[in-house]
Structures are given as structure tokens and as C-alpha cells.
Chains A and B, each alone.
Chain A
Amino acid sequence: MTTRAVTLNAPVPMRRPANLWRDAWHRLIQNRAAVISLVYIVLLLLIAIFASAVAPYPFERQDLDSTDLGPSAQHLFGTDGLGRDELSRLVYGSRISLAVALVDVLIVLFIGVPLGLIAGFFGRWLDVLVMRTVDVLLAFPNLLLVIVVITYLRAVLDQPQGPLLAIIGGLDGITGGLLGVFIALGLVSWLTVARLVRGQVLSLKEKEFIEAARMTGATNARIVSRHLLPNTLAPVIVAATFGIPAAIATEAGLSFLGLGVRPPLPSWGILIAEGVRNMRAFPHELVVPAVALAVTLICFNFLGDGLRDALDPKLKVD
């Protein structure tokens, strides 16, 4: 804050009209941890998109003459038990993590938000149905639920019966098992956002501006999409950001247990599982993917913290 002399009758300088998103952006870039995290995430995104250009070797190329090498100029992070370049596997693995992040956000936006809007706006039996489902599913640890469901999915998709399941099973095979992970994520990752949006809508729909909109003859669809939805966006963004690291960790955990992405696709969870197997002799094979995963998750959390502080109107005191 700068101090300056103000004469009482001087014309008040025109202030740019306040804008939630611009204010939030200004607050966000003041937060050093959030900015560093954002830079890291953007970098990771670029690495994932241009993986084939960034990675020094193909991720599945084996070189049985140079297995379990330590870090060197040729192999920055060394090689694994089959002589595959760790850095390249890490780079390609980022694609899987970010694909999971993307799908998680899509699930939140296209399942969680609409269900929350519907439950909050129309109430009655729709509300009861959606919210009881959310309650039951939230009562148990996400991972427990996901593991039970994916055990079932794996078995069904491996021996598909009927044309629909055969198509899904085929897609699951092509994506290296990612589809099963997405379906399992779809079960749990929309829950908190649906509950959040419903709560917001319940309080918003009694406000005067909704009444005003109704008076001008707005239809239900218009009220929901033009008036309620934009007002719930800020908390949804924050919740979605916090949901991303949870989803990435779930995928890594499932792949670690052998329930997620199938080898040779280099999910970070698989890299960590392989690292655990070799950790006594070659700890770097474990440390590299574990640190990469940890840093990524921490950065998404810091970004979520920053967004929450930036978007929370309660903290807006200027």
C-alpha cells in the first residue's frame, strides 16, 4: 500500500468496476506458493502434451545390456530392471496422471454440478434420491469403494458378455485399463461437489435476484443456467481443484495395487510399485516416481489453497 496525500475535495479517481474474476486473479498471483504451483502444473501439462518430443527414449524400449543403471548423462534418472529409461517412463506417465485429472474435472462438471443443481432447485423426491445416494457413498472411504467396484469391473470387462460390454471392454483394453479407472472414479469423484452445489443453490434460490428473474418471466431452465450456475462457480472451481490430486492419487494407488493401468503403460503408480520391488538394491527407481507424484499432488493442493483464498468472498475486505 502506498501512502499519498489526499485533498478532501479532489475528484475521486474513477475506480475500475470490481470484477470477481479479475480480483481473484490479482489475489491469486500475490500468493507465491500458488504461483509456483501453477507454473509447475503448466510445465507438467506441456511435458505431457509433448511427451514424445521431451522424452529421450520411447517409454517401452528395453535395453537388456543396461539394466538398473544409476543416474547418468545418458539416462538422467537411470534405467529400470528391463533397461527402460526412467525419465522417459516418468514423462509418459505424466500423461496418465493428467488424463485422470481431466476426466475427474469433467465428471465433476457434467455429473456433480448438474445433479447438485437439480437436487437443490427442484427439491422433493429428486433431492432425497440424489442426497441419500451421496450420503451412502460418502459414508465409506473412497478407496475402499473404488477397489470393490474396480474388482468387479475388471472381471466383467475381461470376459465381456453382450455387445455393449464388449465395446466397453475393448475400449478399456485399448486405453490400457484407464477406462475402468475412469468408471470407478465416476462413482465417487462427483459426490462432494454435488453436495456443495446443492447447498449453494438452496441458499441462493431464496435470494431477491432469483425472485426478480422469475418476475421478469425467466423460465426454470434460464434461472438455473444463467443465474444459479454462475453464482456457484467459485466454490466449484475450488472443490474441483482439490479433487484433482485425490483422483491422481487414486489412480496411482490402483495402478500400484495392479488394479489400474496395465503395464507396460508407465503410470506413476506402476513405476512406484516396480520401485518398491527393487528398493533395497536400487532406491533411485523408487524415489524418482514417488517424489514426482508427491510434488505434483502438493502443487495441486497449494493451487487449491490459493484459489480458495482468492475466490472466497468472505476474505474480501478492501
Chain B
Amino acid sequence: MTIYLLRRLLWVLPSLFVVFTLTFVLVHATPGSPWDESDKPLPASVKENLARQYHLDDPLPKQYVDYLWNVLHGDFGPSYRSVERSVSDIIGATLPVSAMLGIASMLFAIVVGVPLGALAAVKHNTWIDYVSSLITVTGLATPPFVRVSLLIVFFSITLGWLPTGGWEGIFDVRAIIPILAIGLGPAAILARYTRSSLLEVHGQDFIRTARAKGLTETAVVVRHAMKNALIPVVTVAGVTLANVITGAFFVERIYSVPGIGRQFVDSVSGRDYPLLLGIVLVFALLISLVNLLVDLSYGFLDPRIRYR
């Protein structure tokens, strides 16, 4: 187990390194700089000074090694756009907001998606199953920016129940629409996987045994079937995280949530390459860690699985 964990951890590093190098090369191969686009063109001497200040006049290998060294010390360098805040400051300020939003969305997805899928499986081929599959397909098919737009129009503009944007912490009513908009995608994924894996488990002998010994249907489903059906569901945790991250790009921007997703989108349109590079690295780290956790969780869910 320990050896497996160590080996998996060691595998995370090279893949992060590849992401880091690729993004660095791509960003530095991109022509143009944020100073090209301003309405008043800057004098050449100012540009030179800016280049010197941001070490852009160093040879590329030196920039690469320096940057790598700084990143390993938690310093992502200065942001092009924001003078007073470094990339690390920006990430440090926006990541917690997105993390809270992401965790709340995941909780919502689990609380809605798993029971929805279970209900659909238990009531297989009835209207409940069909309604649930319609909800699931809608959640799977609509991109987050469509979901958040329609939610705002419906709940904020037509009904006037919720504000049309903003962020006052996760326990404020303003968090409802972002959580719904981000969470519906993962909820649909979870519902679909729960349904199909419950249907598969349902035909097996231990379920018949549980029924034969006189357990109620609820007890059979909740205590016996679900426990075994959830293993494949955990597999999709990585996919749902990807869903949450890309969902946050749009939802945070449209709903004016000061999170890291919005920073990412702004860094793209503002050509703030150090910020873009830093955020991509943070995402890569997050995704690698979640994939590792998913792999490790199999052993706890199913003791028959052994790590080698």
C-alpha cells in the first residue's frame, strides 16, 4: 500500500512537469504582449524597461529554470495586468472562493444525482425513470453557460426571487444559482452512473438472498445494492471535477463570482500569461491529486481490490 502510494505520487510529478513545460513553451511562443493592445501605444524605451522588469529579456532557458525554481517555492511571479498583486496573491485570494463553490456544487450533485439515479433504477422503465432520464440528459447536454443564463432569467428576472449576480460567501442566497448551474452537470453524470450500476447489481445473487431473508425493498437497495453500486460511481469523480472546473469558467464570469475560474478567463482575454500559466498549474495539480484519491478510494470501498 505504502509503496503503491509512493509510486503513484512519483507519477504525478512527471505529468505535472509535462504540463508545466508545455504551457510555458506555448505561452512564451505566443507573439504579442499585454502592452500591445493599449489605446495609447507605449514608447519603445518603456517596453524595454517593462521587458527588463519582467525578465523577458533573459534567454528563454534561463527564464524557464528561474520560473520553475520560483514555482517550486510557491511564487508564480508578477501578474502583467495587476501591478500591486502577484499571481500567487491572486490565486490565493480567488481559489478559496472557487473551492467553496466547487465543494458545495459537488455536495449538491451527490445529494441530487445519486438518489435520482437510484430512484430511476428502482422504478426501471416507469415514468419516474423517464422523467429522471430527461433531467439527466438535460444536465449532461447543456453547457454551464446555458444553464446559468437560463437560471438567471428564470429565477432572478422572471420570478425575481434571487439576485442576478454577485458573491457574499457560500451561505448567502447569491450562491444558489452558481451552485445549481455548476452542480447540475456532475449531478447528471452521477445519476446516470448510479442508475446503470444499480441496474447491474440488481440481478445478482446477494440481492436475491437479501430479498429472500425478508428485508424490505428499501433496505435491500440502500444497504446492499447501493454499497456495491457506488464503486463505479466513484470512478467518475475525476470527470466531475473537470466538469466543475470548466463550469466555473463561465458561471463565475456571468454571475460575477470572484473565483479562480473568472480569473482564468480574464487572464486569457487580457493576455496575462503569468497568471494563465499559474492557474493552469493549479488546475493540473488539483486534477492529478483527485485522480490519485479516486484510485486510493477503491481499496476502502471494495476490500477485494489490492494495490500492487
Q: Which residues of A contact B (CB under 8 A)?
A: 136, 139-144, 147-149, 151-152, 155-156, 158-159, 161, 245, 249, 252-253, 256-259, 272, 275-276, 279-280, 283, 286-287, 290-291, 293-294, 297-298, 300-302, 305
State how many residues of chain B have any CB contact under 8 Å with chain A. Answer: 44
Between A and B, 9 residue pairs with Cβ closer than 8 Å are A141-B283, A148-B276, A152-B29, A156-B29, A156-B30, A245-B141, A287-B153, A294-B146, A297-B143
Are B137 and A149 in contact, with the CB atoms below 8 A? no
Lowest 6 CB-CB distances: which A-B pairs, in order?
A141-B242, A297-B141, A143-B246, A249-B143, A298-B141, A155-B30
> Does B164 touch A at the CB level, under 8 Å?
yes
Are A279 and B149 in contact, with the CB atoms below 8 A? yes
Partner of B15, one of A139, A152, A298: A139
Partner of B268, one of A257, A287, A297, A301: A257
CB neighbours (8 Å) of B149 from chain A are: 272, 275-276, 279, 286, 290
Q: For the complex, give the distance between the alpha carbons of A49 and B159 in Å.
A: 38
Partner of B142, one of A144, A155, A161, A297: A297
List residues 240-295 of chain B with CB under 8 A from any CB of chain A: 242-243, 245-246, 249-250, 254, 264-265, 268-269, 271, 276, 280, 283-284, 287-288, 291
Are A136 and B18 in contact, with the CB atoms below 8 A? yes
Q: Which residues of B contact A (CB under 8 A)?
A: 15, 18-19, 23, 26-27, 29-32, 137-138, 140-143, 145-146, 149-150, 152-153, 157-158, 164, 242-243, 245-246, 249-250, 254, 264-265, 268-269, 271, 276, 280, 283-284, 287-288, 291
Q: For the complex, give the distance between the alpha carbons of A275 and B254 in Å.
A: 11
Partner of B31, one of A142, A155, A279, A283: A155
CB neighbours (8 Å) of B249 from chain A are: 143, 147, 257
Known: A151-B276, A155-B31. A283 touches B157 (CB 8 A): yes
Q: For the complex, give the distance between the alpha carbons of A158 and B271 in Å.
A: 14
Are B143 and A253 in contact, with the CB atoms below 8 A? yes
CB neighbours (8 Å) of A245 from chain B are: 141
CB neighbours (8 Å) of B146 from chain A are: 272, 290, 293-294
Beta-carbon nearest neighbor of B241 in chain A = A141
Q: For the complex, give the distance between the alpha carbons of A58 and B140 in Å.
A: 34
Q: For the complex, give the distance between the alpha carbons of A259 and B249 in Å.
A: 13
Partner of A276, one of B243, B246, B254, B280: B254
Q: How far is the CB of B222 from chain A (nearest CB, A)?
A: 28
Are B164 and A283 in contact, with the CB atoms below 8 A? no
Q: How far is the CB of A52 from chain B (nearest CB, A)?
A: 27
Are A283 and B26 in contact, with the CB atoms below 8 A? no
Q: For the complex, give the distance between the alpha carbons of A260 and B141 in Å.
A: 20
Are B280 and A148 in contact, with the CB atoms below 8 A? yes
Are B137 and A253 in contact, with the CB atoms below 8 A? no
CB neighbours (8 Å) of A142 from chain B are: 242, 246
Q: How far is the CB of B304 from chain A (nearest CB, A)?
A: 24
CB neighbours (8 Å) of A152 from chain B are: 26-27, 29-30
CB neighbours (8 Å) of A305 from chain B are: 137
Beta-carbon nearest neighbor of B19 in chain A = A140
Partner of A286, one of B30, B137, B153, B243: B153
